[in-house]
Amino acid sequence: MTPSATAQPTVAQALEIIAAENAVAVRGLDAANGGALDDAARVIRDANRVFLLGAGRSGIALQFTAMRLMHLGLAVHVVGEVTAPAIGEGDVLLVASGSGSTAGIVRAAQTATDVKASVVAITADAASAVSKLATVTLLVEAARKLDRDSTVTAQYAGSLFEQTVVTIGDALFHSLWLDSGQTADELWPRHSNLE
Amino acid sequence: MTPSATAQPTVAQALEIIAAENAVAVRGLDAANGGALDDAARVIRDANRVFLLGAGRSGIALQFTAMRLMHLGLAVHVVGEVTAPAIGEGDVLLVASGSGSTAGIVRAAQTATDVKASVVAITADAASAVSKLATVTLLVEAARKLDRDSTVTAQYAGSLFEQTVVTIGDALFHSLWLDSGQTADELWPRHSNLE
Amino acid sequence: MTPSATAQPTVAQALEIIAAENAVAVRGLDAANGGALDDAARVIRDANRVFLLGAGRSGIALQFTAMRLMHLGLAVHVVGEVTAPAIGEGDVLLVASGSGSTAGIVRAAQTATDVKASVVAITADAASAVSKLATVTLLVEAARKLDRDSTVTAQYAGSLFEQTVVTIGDALFHSLWLDSGQTADELWPRHSNLE
Amino acid sequence: MTPSATAQPTVAQALEIIAAENAVAVRGLDAANGGALDDAARVIRDANRVFLLGAGRSGIALQFTAMRLMHLGLAVHVVGEVTAPAIGEGDVLLVASGSGSTAGIVRAAQTATDVKASVVAITADAASAVSKLATVTLLVEAARKLDRDSTVTAQYAGSLFEQTVVTIGDALFHSLWLDSGQTADELWPRHSNLE
């Protein structure tokens, strides 16, 4: 069968593929991480300040998380924002890196460790450099591509991993929000009122 | 039962809630939109340039989409980037607004229409101001909250809508990618090599 | 003499033009503003948190200022950053708008006033909407274009105004820095260590 | 004389200090660089696409330049924007680094050179790693601090260098603008119309 004989997937079919892959990925998070999920939430909650860093779309995914943690009342900085200061003792760095070996992310995790900040790492490789530096590692097993012929995901590059980072971030927020005892009406006044 | 007697959801339970809500939301997209999903893909593919705009987390979700459309080889601008020029005839503006009535988004959609650019709107309200201006509307019915006591979503504010924007963007990309006939190896060289 | 007969300015000549225009603009700031310059510094210093907002290049100029105010130890947010919360009583909003009538800036200044935050406005029009809302106005007279045939500046559009915003921001910082009694070595550890 | 006996500088005095330092810095650019200033303008004008990168406030200064080059009609990308693709042959990378040895800037300049893109470097050290990789180096001699007790500038850290980058960028634009033969009315329609 030649490519031209194959009907390209419609957007509806693409939605089904993505939804199915995400369902598998999210289901695997509990088994792979156990108590680490709640450990990560606690480390974030108890930190003086939360710093977030990822490269490319992993970084965009963490901006999603950053805004909600701000709504929750935490002191939050996205690395690269002009207002982001230095990390220090008692802070936490939340990073996301599929490979766990992105050079800039590893360096940042090392710096955080050096200054006695905690590191929470979301990665698809538990044996990676970032994992070794992390206080808590959250493993996204479903997004790990073992070789070029991987049938793990039909999506392009790290899309499944990046989508899972979005979901993990929102789950961490959801748990921390309800744990905080604050109502939605108490969070709302923190939403930006100057745009 | 008092709140203090209720065990707060663990992160694993929050993941289940989010996954279940997203499964429902994505399943409803096909029924609600029919051919509009593929119309949106075609309008984006055939535009001279793609501009993306959303407020808050809807805007972050569209940055996710923007990066992938750039990887695909399209000319892409996120509104607010210092390098984003004026939109003009033959361009498309892709916006996301849960209410469909965010003032800045409506103004931008009006401007796009005035200069004869297309507008693709992702919204939870098909009768909204943005929908009325849009060339193609993509409706996210599951995220529409009809009243304060809505049981539509247990998540905070527009989270379900924003997560669905991420999924729609990646589905548009996935369909456009396979339709383009480009391999992953042909997209890869477009990834930023200066960071 | 036709344009084609005129040698275009070299970059060195352009540097001279810009330097000369800036010298005039900066010299005029003291006469135009008197004590308002130090009032602005005090309002910023004494605020709970500093928010900064400008459109286009005026906004970029204020990012310059924002980073230095962070180095000084102030709590700083650039409007539009994902981590920027709502402004409230006791905060200050620092805006820059040449015309003083940019719609989004005027709305933000109104919001700041409504919630009992202070407003410091840098503008070229002391009678503008933003000036009327401001706690302190800093007037950049040299950048005011009275008509299309203005000989005030040879530079394009608001360039002279925007350059002056950079200078004012750094002068506010310089004065606040020395006033704080902190040495350069005390500011340095606040510089981002994660990039 | 103890510090406490010294009246802190007013903002007006700080403005004078900054203006005086900038006058010296700008005056020195011509002598230090000669024809390199116009070479830089030509390299930027003739490139397929212009990429800009700086760390911290040097990066903010280059955003100032980036927006104007877009107004001029060039294809412009700020490194780090989600829409910035890979640099390639025939493109130019414009970097600013006071020390000329910032690790991320040197790596980017090396990558640009490897793919046969040009590099224009603004730096205070002509013997630096970035200078050695650059097609054209623009030297800011006045901002070079030779030792800790330098009396070169009274301002904090790299402020004088960063202010000079703003001025150089606007001078490059001014020269390229007049050279292009475009009127202000021809540039204006490129200004973002969606914000």
A-B Cβ pairs (cutoff 8 Å, strict):
166
What's D53's domain CATH number?
3.40.50.10490
Q: Domain for residue B4, yes or no?
A: no
Q: Is A185 on the interface with C (CB under 8 A)?
A: no
Q: Domain for residue D195, yes or no?
A: no
Average pLDDT for consecutive 10-residue bins of chain A (195 residues)? 57 97 95 96 98 98 98 98 98 97 97 98 97 98 63 90 98 98 97 96
pLDDT of residue C144: 74
Report helix angle C11-33 to D36-46, nearest 10. Answer: 100
Q: Domain for residue A3, yes or no?
A: no
Which residues 79-98 in chain C show a CB within 8 A of chain A?
A: 79-87, 93
User: How many domains does the structure of chain A reveal?
Assistant: 1
pLDDT of residue D1: 33
B188-to-B166, B185, B192 alpha-carbon distances in Å: 21, 5, 9
- Average pLDDT value for residue range D107-135: 98
pLDDT of residue A34: 87
Q: Domain for residue B110, yes or no?
A: yes
More confident residue, D32 or A4: D32
Q: Domain for residue C195, yes or no?
A: no
pTM across the whole model? 0.96
CB contact under 8 A, B80 and C80: yes
Tens digits of residue pLDDT in B116-164: 999 999 999 999 999 999 999 999 988 776 544 456 899 999 999 999 9
Q: Domain for residue C6, yes or no?
A: no
- Tell me the shortest Cα–Cα distance from A190 to chain C, in angstroms: 5
CB contact under 8 A, B60 and C80: no
Given B89, B162, B186, B195, which residue is catalytic?
Answer: B162
Q: Which residue of B has its CA nearest to A22?
A: B19
- B43 has pLDDT over 60: yes
- Average pLDDT value for residue range D31-43: 96
Q: Domain for residue A1, yes or no?
A: no
- Average pLDDT value for residue range B3-30: 86
Interface test with D, best of C4, C52, C167, C174 (most D CBs within 10 A): C174
To which residue do tokens 């379900």 refer? Answer: B160
- Average pLDDT value for residue range D4-9: 60
For the beta sheet containing A50-54, the strands, ordered from the edge strand earlier in sequence to the opposite edge, are A76-78, A50-54, A92-97, A118-123, A136-139
Tens digits of residue pLDDT in D58-67: 999 999 999 9
CB contact under 8 A, D195 and B76: no
- Tell me the shortest Cα–Cα distance from D185 to chain C, in angstroms: 10
B106: left (phi over 0), alpha (psi -120 to 50) or beta: alpha
- Note the residue count of chain D: 195
pLDDT of residue B130: 98
Q: Domain for residue D2, yes or no?
A: no
The partner residues of A140 in beta bridges, in order of sequence, read none
C55-to-C78, C101, C102 alpha-carbon distances in Å: 12, 11, 8
Question: What is the average pLDDT score of chain D?
Answer: 93
For C70, which of A66, A85, A189 is closest by C-beta distance?
A: A85
What confidence category does residue B5 fall into, taking pLDDT thresholds of 50, 70 and 90? very low
b/e burial code for range A49-81 (CB count within 10 A of at least 16 → b): bbbbbbbbbbbbbbbbbbbbbbbbebebbbbeb
pLDDT of residue C145: 60
- Average pLDDT value for residue range B17-42: 96
pLDDT of residue D8: 76
Show the domain range for B106: 11-190
What is the residue-level pLDDT of chain C in tens, covering all 195 positions? 334 435 679 999 999 999 999 999 999 999 999 899 999 999 999 999 999 999 999 999 999 999 999 999 999 999 999 999 999 999 999 999 999 999 999 999 999 999 999 999 999 999 999 999 999 999 998 877 654 445 689 999 999 999 999 999 999 999 999 999 999 999 999 999 999
CB contact under 8 A, A11 and B170: no
**D169 contacts: CB under 8 Å, gap ≥ 6:** D61, D62, D64, D65, D68
DSSP B61-83: HHHHHHHHHHHTT--EEEBTBTT
pLDDT of residue A147: 47
As a whole number of angstroms, the distance between CA A51 and CA A90 comes to 11
CB contact under 8 A, C60 and B80: no
**Residues from chain D contacting residue C167 (CB–CB below 8 Å):** 15, 18-19, 22, 163
- Look up residue D4 and give its two tokens: 């406490």
